[in-house]
Amino acid sequence: MHAIQFLRLAAVFGTLFMALPVASEQITFSRGDIQLVPPGDDPISFEVEFAITPAERRHGLMYRTALDEKAGMLFVFSNNALRHFWMKDTPLSLDILFFTAEQKLVHVVPSAEPNNDAVISSLVPARYVLELEAGSVNRFGLAIGTALVIP
């Protein structure tokens, strides 16, 4: 094999290798319970993982293949702003719920398409974003105005 061919082959394999997820990117999220209180209804408890740091928020639920019915991930930001998410490398369909700093639900994206790199935006400023198993919004009667209670 000529040196040029070897370098080209090495470059191709190097590019493919760099595109793979790195095992060291395993993140351990803190866990806790939250409640969602639909308008005029009783609180519903969920066990969530908290995505607080930039690295945790970047990783999110990527590569997860299952979520329990009352489990999810709560993304916590330090301010209200338009939030942008995507489903790249996320094989689950998710309901994505956007909450204000006052912890009120202001926007819902139901059943976000798995493994999709299209941008999903909050449409209005949000401070908290909750990802739940697809269908949770309908199953639990969650609607605009639902309160998020974080102990």
**Domains of the chain, earliest start first:** 26-149 (2.60.120.1140)
pLDDT reported for residue 27: 86
pLDDT exceeds 90 at position 108: yes
Mean pLDDT to the nearest integer, 118-135: 97
pLDDT exceeds 60 at position 26: yes
Look over the chain and give the mean of its residue pLDDT values, rounded to a whole number: 87
DSSP 115: T
Which residues lie closer than 8 Å to 33 by C-beta, 6 or more apart? Answer: 45, 46, 47, 48, 151
pLDDT reported for residue 9: 41
Cα separation, 51 vs 58, in Å, equals 9
pTM: 0.82
pLDDT reported for residue 8: 46
Cα separation, 127 vs 79, in Å, equals 6
Which residues lie closer than 8 Å to 74 by C-beta, 6 or more apart? Answer: 34, 48, 49, 50, 51, 128, 129, 130, 150
Give the percent of the chain with pLDDT over 90: 81
User: Which amino acid, residue 128?
Assistant: Y
pLDDT exceeds 60 at position 142: yes
